[in-house]
Structure 1
Amino acid sequence: MQESEDSYVRVAVLIMLWLALFASICATLIHWLGPVHRTMDLIIPPTASMMFGGLIVALMRRPWWLQAIVQVALVVAALALIAPAWFYTLHAVSTPGMRLIDVLPPVPSLFVMLLVMVMIFIPGRRAFVLALLCWLLIALPVLVYLALHPREMWMPRGIDLLMAYGPVSIMVVVLLPVQRGLAGTIRRMASERARMEVMLHRDPLTGIHNRRLGERVLRDLFNGAHAAGLIMLDMDGFKAINDTHGHPVGDRVLQAVAGRCKALLREDECISRWGGEEFLVIVPGIDAAGLHMVAERLQMAIARLPVAPVLRVTASFGATMIDGADNFDTVLQRVDRALYAAKEQGGNCVVLVTAGLAAAGVLAPG
């Protein structure tokens, strides 16, 4: 889940940078092709375009720089809006006959987008602090100017600036945390669902997979063309352990056996509690010789497992390869017969059978 979320954030940042680059290029073309050329308008958009283009290249080549790239992008965007806000406001104040609404570039919508990016990509209270700082440096000088020049304020462009830098900005800062909270709730619900699904497929006593998941994994094997093997093991004399030492000791034996087997298996090898004292091990990508070695390793590990006050813990093993003509029932019947053959030989041994039910190898009791 974490990897998926990180990938999503990288894609989102990349999209943000491409949009910022597109906006900067459009602003550059508009100012260059317009009838009036102002020095700041001819400098800031192309500079921002080069910066955003460089950040896109950096993110694609160095994705682990994500946080730094986000911060640099927000700083570039903020500076690109702060400079014209102050420059044109001071210029309108100091130049008789000049009106701010006539010279200020169309940046209110970009200011709102900057607030959105800050609230999305900056975590916690820092987002509110930075949003307030952006408002003070970008919106406040324009609003103060409009308050001191009511004639401009009540003109269409003045009302547009007043709304963008006032109520709209406040709505963005207030509503986005609500959206973030909803997103967090959805993530928590997804995490809880994943946790419940794990619990649904987990044996509560031993902590390994239960029979439900074991059956699902086994059925999935028949949809692939890869070789796989099956091992079924059953504890020897488990009823006597329960009768002699009590069920709590029997539970500890099952937990110790399950934990030891799980520790010896690879991540792609599935062990599940099949029932009572029976366990099923599914081993993908293996041949008959390798399957016998896996079963032998588990058998010897259990035989060396100390679980006081039980003097000795052993298990019988049946193993078989999954044949191309097999289905769910036939392979289980064959591995069950192999397990029965191991029990008939006195237990604490491994019997591997082929599809023809002929024993291919027996490990004598250790």
Structure 2
Amino acid sequence: MNRYETLKRHMYLFILPVITIASVIGLIFSSRSNPFNIWMLSVFVVVFSLSFLLLFFPNTLKIVEYLNLSVVTILHIIKFHSIITLDMIVKGYSHTGSSTYWTPLILVFIFIALPRKIGIYYALVLWSIMVYIGFDYWSSISDKGTERLLQYYLSILVYIILIYFVRRVITYYAEKEMIEKLAYFDPLTGVANRRKVYLWLDESIQKKKDFYVVLFDIDHFKAVNDTYGHPTGDEVLKKITEITASQLGEDDIIGRWGGEEFIIVTRREKGAHSLVEQIRKKIANFEFDDIPNITASFGIAKYQNQSTELLLEQADNALYQAKSNGRNRVETYQNIKY
């Protein structure tokens, strides 16, 4: 299952029991003089209960969706016909009945179960059938009943239009988020890429507050790739990212600078050295499967009104110093020149 299907499955696991209970309650309090209601609610209880059980088996989501959609649609049309011909004409009721309260939920279900364009067509066809049924018996319905029925038709049409555009808005923001993720985040590790880090740096500089830049890379990472293969190297990169991110707070951000090199931007008032030293130890002490322990070297530079390029150069010089001094260590750039 993809994430959308998984989300839908979880939603049905919560909703189906509630609708089943509502159908059981309706069945208990339904008048015995209305056998159609009893039959319809009994079908709902069986179908919704069966659908709930089917969700626990693989590859049954579409079956559940189409089964429920077909049953609900058919019974809704039959029930609406009964409301018009029996309740509003024979009994003289001026309202459409409590069962029509569920119509908006049916529309939501249509747009969840079906693709957006098919969903709008399906909903409009269902609405048109209900309109046809009403207008076919229009002259036999009381004036107050026709006014209520007209309000019902218009409200359902508004629901259809609203749900359709809500789904379009959700799709737009989902696509926008996906595009942004592809543009600004590293596909392997899930953290920011260099383009996004530059935006963060510009934002930090504009706030005119002290912050620190940390550049670090994995020691002897080429040997890992050469000895154990690139898939293992990728797993190491993801694990290092996970370990580092777990030590960061709200004012800390991490990005992949390129290859096995990463960057941290932190605004901690007490400085970055204790944080970075903690990360270094976590990485060095982590036991990987089938490969020796991995270490990383770190270089820290503090922002003091210098340019972004100079700040990054200072962090890089500190990193180079850490590697020159034996690796698996933290060095801070001290000799800032303006």
Give the structure-2-normalised TM-score. Answer: 0.55
Which residue of structure 2 aligns with residue 176 of structure 1? 158
Aligned-residue offset at 1:126: 9.7
2:289 corresponds to which of 308, 311, 322: 308
Rg larger in 1 or in 2? Answer: 1
Matched, 1:210 2:212: no
C-alpha RMSD of matched pairs (Å): 3.4
Q: Is the 8 A contact 2:215 2:261 kept in 1?
A: yes
CA 329–165 in structure 1, closer or farther in 2 if over 3 Å, else same: same
Show structure 1 runs of 4+ deviating over 3 A: 119-123, 143-146
Match of 2:205 in 1: 222
Specify the SS of the correspondent of 1:290.
Answer: coil
* CA shift in 2, pair 1:238/1:144, >3 Å: closer
Mapped to 2, the partners of 1:212 and 1:174 lie a distance apart of: 47
Render the CA deviation track for 1:3-49: whole Å, top value 9, x for unaligned.
xxxxxxxxxxxxxxxxxxxxxxxxxxxxxxxxxxxxxxxxxxxxxxx
Matched residues in 2 for 1:329 and 1:193: separation? 33
Which residue in 2 is equivalent to 1:297? 278
Residue in structure 2 matching 1:272, options 252, 255, 259: 255
For residues 158-197 of structure 1, give each alpha carbon's deviation from its aligned partner in whole angstroms, at most 9, with x where no partner exists: xxx89x8178525513421221232222232233134312
2:216 aligned with 1:236: no
- In structure 2, distance between residues paired with 1:218 and 1:124: 47
Q: Which of the residues 223, 230, 234 maps onto 1:247?
A: 230
Aligned to 1:195: 177
Aligned: 1:260 with 2:240: no
Contact 1:316 1:348 in 2 (8 A): yes
Are the counterparts in 2 of residues 205 and 251 from structure 1 also a CA contact under 8 Å?
A: yes
**Which has the higher mean CA deviation after the structures are superposed, 339-348 or 308-317?**
308-317
Contact 1:323 1:355 in 2 (8 A): no
* 1:356 matches 2:336: yes
**TM-score for the superposition, normalised by structure 1:** 0.51
Letter in 1 for 2:219: D
Q: Which residue of 2 aligns with 1:333?
A: 313
Contact 2:284 2:296 in 1 (8 A): yes
2:167 maps to: 185
Summarize the Cα distance change of 1:181–1:345 in structure 2 as closer, same or farther, 3 Å threshold. same
What is the aligned length?
213
Q: Tell me if the contact between 1:232 and 1:281 (Cα under 8 Å) persists in the aligned partners.
A: yes
Matched-pair contact (CA < 8 Å) for 1:320–1:355: no
Aligned counterpart for 2:301 among listed residues 320, 342, 351: 320
